[in-house]
């Protein structure tokens, strides 16, 4: 199936979740992430500020701060479709930009290089157990991951997993996927 068709179909399923189902499933995913050794050891976590109907990352961000972890969110540059990550320590350091996305305010946050991120939470719409993903279509994470050497995870509702996806040469799989039902070691699946 074509990427655009798959993306649209899964987003439609995500939009069908009730607010309570969404909150409950997001909380279950966060509980499973807490058990992940790479998350436990990470001092700095890179994470996108979610928007409906994605898995809610705001509780994750707040939990990271409670655990003494640093949090960095991406600032996207549409001209060349690149992004960098910026440390922030309160939600007030975010601003709404295009398409209702929240990003760090540059004047109030500090940019950090990929080597500073111990764990990167990679968003997406559709995933395979082997870690390949279809994102939201901008290609920002594919570009960023090409130079990223740290650990990666994706948070997804279990129905976002597909048997297979069209994979292109520039696609970089994540190391693992955490859903409300299971934790998948994608590196092991690919081995």
pLDDT of residue 99: 75
What pLDDT, in 10s, does the model give residues 44-93?
Answer: 999 999 999 999 999 999 999 999 999 999 999 888 888 999 999 999 99
Q: How confident is the model at residue 100 (pLDDT cuts 50, 70, 90)?
A: confident
DSSP string computed for 86-138: EEESSGGGEEE-GGG-EEE-GGGSEEE-GGG-SEEE---SEE-TTS-EE-SSS
pLDDT of residue 169: 82
Q: How confident is the model at residue 1 (pLDDT cuts 50, 70, 90)?
A: low
Of residues 165, 87, 90, the one with CA closest to residue 126: 165
pLDDT of residue 81: 85
Q: How confident is the model at residue 98 (pLDDT cuts 50, 70, 90)?
A: confident
pLDDT of residue 148: 94
DSSP string computed for 64-80: HHHTT-EEEEEEEETTT
Residue 4 has pLDDT above 90, yes or no: no
pLDDT of residue 79: 87
Distances (CA, A) of 162 to 86, 101, 126: 32, 26, 7
Answer yes or no: are the C-beta atoms of 122 and 152 closer than 8 Å: yes
What pLDDT, in 10s, does the model give residues 142-190?
Answer: 889 998 999 999 999 999 999 888 888 888 999 999 999 999 999 999 9
Rounded CA separation 101/63 (Å): 21
Answer yes or no: are the C-beta atoms of 155 and 46 closer than 8 Å: no
Residue 31 has pLDDT above 90, yes or no: yes
What pLDDT, in 10s, does the model give residues 133-143?
Answer: 998 877 889 88
């Amino acid at each position: 199936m074509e990427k655009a068709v798959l993306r649209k179909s899964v987003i439609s399923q995500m939009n069908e979740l009730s607010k309570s189902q969404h909150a409950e499933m997001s909380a279950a995913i966060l509980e499973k992430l807490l058990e992940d050794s790479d998350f436990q050891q990470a001092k700095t976590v890179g994470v996108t500020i979610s928007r409906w109907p994605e898995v809610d990352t705001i509780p994750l961000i707040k939990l990271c701060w409670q655990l003494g972890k640093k949090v960095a969110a991406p600032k996207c540059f549409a001209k060349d479709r690149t992004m960098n990550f910026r440390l922030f320590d309160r939600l007030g350091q975010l601003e709404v930009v295009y398409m209702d996305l929240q990003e760090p305010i540059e004047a109030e946050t500090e940019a950090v290089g990929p080597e500073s991120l111990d764990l990167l939470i990679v968003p997406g719409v559709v995933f395979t157990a082997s870690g390949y993903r279809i994102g939201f279509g901008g290609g920002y994470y594919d570009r960023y991951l090409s130079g990223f050497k740290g650990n990666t995870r994706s948070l997804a509702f279990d129905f976002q997993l597909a048997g297979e996806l069209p994979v292109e040469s520039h696609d970089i799989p994540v190391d693992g996927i955490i859903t409300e039902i299971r934790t998948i070691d994608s590196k092991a699946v690919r081995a």
